[in-house]
Structure formats: C-alpha cells, structure tokens
C-alpha cells in the first residue's frame, strides 16, 4: 500500500515499544480493508508524554494505543475518560475528539470476549485471579461484567492486596448491555490460601502474573495437585501469549479444564480499539492470523 499526502496515522506509545505486536495486528487489518492509514510504534519517555499528545493533536493523529509505563500517567492529560477505564484505573486507548483526547480501556473487552462467546451463566462460577497488578484490575472488572458469583484475587504482598481490595469500594463497576447490577464480592488472599480457593466444580482460574512467560517457560503459578479432580466445566485462562501454550495451560488441559491463552485477549482488545478509531467492524480473523504468524516466527 502506498503512503500518500492523505494517509492518516494511528499509533502505540510506550517505553520500550519495539517489542509491541500491535503494529502487526493493526496494519494487517488496515491492509486487508485497503484503508489509507498506517499504525506506527513510538517510544515515548515519561517526561515527554504531554508534549507528544500536543504534537499528535497538532498533526491530526487519529488515535493511539497506550502501554507501559503510560497507562496511568496519561489519565490526567485527557479531556474525558470512560467509566470503564476509571474503574480499571488505566487507559490503553485514546482518540482525538473535538474536545481533546478521550481515553478508554479495551483490555476488559479483550479479556471478556472469549468467555462471553461461551454463552453460559456465570453466577455459580468462582473466579480466582492470580496477581493483583494492572491486568488483574481489567480481569476483575471483566469477571464482574460476566456476573461471576465470587471474585477472589491472589497476591504475595499484604499491603498491595489491602490497597487492591479497598480501591474497589469507591468504584461503581460498570456493566455492559442490559445486565442488572448485582452484588459481587471481591476478596483478596495470599498464595498460601490458593489451594482452598479452588472450586473444583465451577472455576475460572486466571493467570494475570508473568509467571511462565518466556523465557521462564517451565514455571507455572499452580501445581498439578491443586487442580487434580477438577470438573470439565472449569476454565484456565492465561493472559500470557508467549509461549503458546504456557506450562499453566498445559497442566490445566491435562487435568481436563478448558483453556484460553492470551492471544485472544490481545487480538480482541486491539479489535475493540480499531473499531473505536475507524468506526467500522475490525477484521478479527485477519488480525488473529497476523498475530499467530508473528508469534510463531518469534518462537522458531
Ligand atoms: P503488573 O502490573 O506488573 O502485575 C503483575 C502481577 O504479578 C503483580 O501482582 C505481581 O505481584 C505479580 N507477580 C509478578 N511476579 C510474580 C511472582 N514471581 N510470584 C507471584 N506474583 C508475581 O503486570 P500486568 O500489566 O498486570 O501484566 C501481567 C501479565 O499479563 C503479563 O504477563 C502481561 O504480559 C500479561 N498481559 C496480557 C495481556 C493480553 O492482552 N494478553 C494484556 C495485559 C497484560 P507484586 O505486585 O507483588 O509484584
């Protein structure tokens, strides 16, 4: 595709950013649809974030993905933040609106998408979320949107867990569509409590730690013993996408659980952002194929 004087720009900003897979995913979609756009990765130092946003506005950049370390830092620089991003406490997608930069968080939609496709009643499901970092916050909001009966978050630092737990008290968690707001209990626990949290009948076990991520591919956040005798109705979901699959998902699959890896969340959060920017359906299959091809190339 030719870059001309009318070509519009989308981007991802972060630091470092050269490892980002978002340009692969978005440019595959742009090319497939024959759009006059390009999606570029810009390394942005924290102290330049405000200057970069002004510059982006000046050149009419349409929208951008936002990644580490700017997901929280960008929030005070925006004219409007969606309730969803406020609940998560992080913005990963911005767009240039008439009133200034608007921001939202598409990680929640990305996380929820493969689960929502299962079309089941989640009210009897116990969600156990491993880790209490940034991604865990999107997972908690996602589990709440699905209507999981219990949401139990596991971490290693008592002070961080207490902050995590209390942070939700002041937040009105947004639901999607027509679901009615229901009471959901979010509890926090240390790793030593994990075996007792495993509901063998109806579990959604989510790894939102980097345990098992390349190059530590032999590591797993859970042991075989913890999931022995687990029902086939239970789901193991790893946010990690390299390796593909992780040790955690291999153990879960051997124990008879359904498994979901991080590639789908990555594709779906990108697709949600793409649709916000371009106001047309994202070619999700094309985006997924491009990502899987790239991950395959990285791993071989
Ligand atoms: P983060 O904010 O740094 O949080 C990581 C969490 O994992 C923290 O709670 C941390 O505990 C915990 N943790 C780290 N190492 C641990 C260990 N050895 N033992 C126990 N706990 C440990 O990172 P994040 O942004 O939430 O990302 C977490 C994972 O999700 C990463 O692997 C990332 O690649 C993945 N992710 C995937 C997607 C996707 O689209 N698929 C999107 C976002 C994130 P402390 O707070 O105590 O240090």
CA distances from 212 to 38, 249, 256 (A): 33, 10, 20
Of 12, 93, 131, best ligand 1 pocket probe by most atoms within 8 Å of the beta carbon? 131
CATH number at residue 275: 3.40.50.10860
In a domain, 251, yes or no: yes
Of 93, 128, 133, 246, best ligand 1 pocket probe by most atoms within 8 Å of the beta carbon? 133
Question: For residue 234, how many other CB atoms are within 10 A of its CB?
Answer: 22
With a 6 A CB cut-off, is 131 part of the ligand 1 pocket? yes
pLDDT at 17 over 50: yes
Q: For residue 259, what are the contacts with CB-CB under 8 A and spacing of at least 6?
A: 235, 236, 237, 238, 245, 249, 252, 253
pLDDT at 169 over 90: no
Q: Please give the average per-residue pLDDT across 5-33, as a whole number.
A: 97
Query: For residue 20, what is the DSSP state?
Result: -
Give residue 205's domain range.
109-260
On whether both 42 and 78 belong to a single domain, the answer is: yes
Can you name the residues that pair with 95 across neighbouring β-strands? Answer: 63, 102
Distance 241 CA to ligand 1 centre (A): 13
Residue with tokens 């997924």: 288
What was the pLDDT predicted at 178? 46
With a 6 A CB cut-off, is 240 part of the ligand 1 pocket? yes
Active site residues: 71
Q: For residue 77, what are the contacts with CB-CB under 8 A and spacing of at least 6?
A: 49, 50, 53, 101
What was the pLDDT predicted at 176? 61
Distance 281 CA to ligand 1 centre (A): 30
On whether both 151 and 121 belong to a single domain, the answer is: yes
On whether both 128 and 271 belong to a single domain, the answer is: no
With a 6 A CB cut-off, is 239 part of the ligand 1 pocket? yes
In a domain, 1, yes or no: no
Residue range 43-84, pLDDT digits in tens: 999 999 999 999 999 999 999 999 999 999 999 999 999 999
What was the pLDDT predicted at 119? 93
With a 6 A CB cut-off, is 22 part of the ligand 1 pocket? no
Pairing label, strands 80-81, 8-14: unpaired
The first and second tokens of residue 26, run together, are 């978005």
On whether both 139 and 244 belong to a single domain, the answer is: yes
With a 6 A CB cut-off, is 160 part of the ligand 1 pocket? yes
What was the pLDDT predicted at 177? 52
Distance 97 CA to ligand 1 centre (A): 32
On whether both 120 and 222 belong to a single domain, the answer is: yes
Tell me the residue ranges of DSSP E strands in 35-171. 37-43, 63-66, 80-81, 93-97, 100-104, 126-130, 150-155
Contact 105, 82 (CB under 8 A): yes
With a 6 A CB cut-off, is 265 part of the ligand 1 pocket? yes
With a 6 A CB cut-off, is 16 part of the ligand 1 pocket? no
In a domain, 182, yes or no: yes
Residue range 115-168, pLDDT digits in tens: 999 999 999 999 999 999 989 999 999 999 999 999 999 999 999 999 999 988
Distance 211 CA to ligand 1 centre (A): 8
């Amino acid at each position: 595709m030719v870059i001309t004087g009318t070509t519009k720009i989308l981007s991802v900003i972060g630091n470092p950013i050269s490892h980002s897979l978002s340009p692969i995913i978005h440019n595959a979609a742009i090319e497939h649809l024959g759009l006059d756009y390009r999606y570029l990765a810009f390394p942005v130092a924290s102290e330049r974030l405000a200057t970069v946003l002004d510059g982006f506005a000046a050149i009419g950049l349409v929208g951008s993905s936002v990644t580490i370390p700017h997901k929280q830092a960008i929030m005070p620089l925006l004219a409007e933040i969606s309730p969803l991003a406020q609940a998560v406490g992080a913005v990963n997608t911005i767009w240039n609106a008439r009133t200034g930069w608007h921001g939202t968080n598409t990680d929640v939609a990305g996380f929820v998408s493969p689960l929502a496709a299962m079309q089941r009643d989640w009210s009897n499901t116990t969600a156990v979320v491993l880790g209490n970092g940034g991604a865990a916050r999107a997972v908690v909001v996602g589990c709440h949107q699905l209507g999981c009966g219990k949401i139990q978050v596991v971490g290693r630092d008592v002070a961080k867990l207490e902050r995590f737990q209390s942070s939700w008290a002041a937040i009105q968690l947004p639901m999607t569509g027509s679901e009615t707001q229901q009471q959901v209990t979010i509890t926090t626990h240390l790793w030593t409590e994990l075996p007792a949290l495993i509901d063998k009948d109806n579990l959604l076990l989510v790894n939102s730690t980097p345990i098992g991520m390349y190059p530590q591919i032999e590591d797993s956040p859970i042991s075989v013993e913890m999931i022995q005798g687990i029902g086939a109705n239970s789901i193991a979901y790893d946010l990690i996408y390299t390796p593909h699959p992780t040790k955690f998902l291999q153990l879960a699959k051997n124990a008879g659980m359904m498994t979901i890896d991080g590639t789908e969340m990555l594709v779906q959060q990108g697709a949600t952002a793409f649709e916000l920017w371009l106001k047309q359906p994202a070619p999700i299959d094309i985006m997924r194929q491009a990502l899987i091809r790239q991950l395959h190339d990285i791993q071989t």
